[in-house]
Amino acid sequence: MADIILNFTVNDEPRHLLIDDRDSLANVLRNQLHLTSVKKGCEVGECGACTVLINGETFDSCIYLAMWAEGKEIRTLEGLMDENGNISDIQQAFIDEAAVQCGFCTPGFIMSAMPIIESDEEYTREEIKKRLAGNLCRCTGYENIINAIEKVKKIRMEKQNI
């Protein structure tokens, strides 16, 4: 057990933190940076509630050692808001499509959706389901979540073609 300095970028802000080398990224994000969108559900990488983007890829931050984030770019749900604190299009789509009930799983689903909606690729409904397979929801159901992702993906693709 040792304390180390972690140098990384979180939501476009460079950070330098003293951490315990055994800490998970989820613990550091929640406890030191107070980014509470990172939920601690199962803590074994099964539920997806702690999903964040690391250099643009989705990871379960509960099983990702914080020290592995050295020099990397981390994005959480808080990083999707604009400079005025307005929510993003995907967050609004989750509201519009009733893809939220208790909301515990929502940040993880939204972060898992980001590589899909930010990609230039087109995805079928089945492909979206496969990309979301690491996220569990116990109350909303998956159809509205997929509807929200498809809605934003379609709007973003249309904007790119204009």
Q: Which range marks the domain in which residue 24 is found? A: 3-78
Residue at 84 is within a domain: no
pLDDT of residue 33: 98
pLDDT of residue 36: 97
Spans in the chain with pLDDT lower than 50: none
Q: In DSSP terms, which residues pair with 57 in a beta bridge?
A: 54
Last residue of a domain, one of 78, 101, 131: 78
Consecutive H or E run containing 131: helix 125-131
pLDDT of residue 162: 60
113 and 69 in one domain? no
pLDDT of residue 153: 96
Contact criterion met (CB below 8 Å) for 140 and 100: yes
pLDDT of residue 42: 94
Contact criterion met (CB below 8 Å) for 75 and 28: no
Cα-trace Rg, the chain:
16
Q: Angle at CA 136, nearest 5°, toward 134 and 139? A: 165
Sheet (strand 57-60) strand order: 13-20, 3-10, 73-75, 51-54, 57-60
* Distance separating alpha carbons of residues 105 and 47, to the nearest angstrom: 8
- CATH number of the domain where residue 145 is located: 1.10.150.120
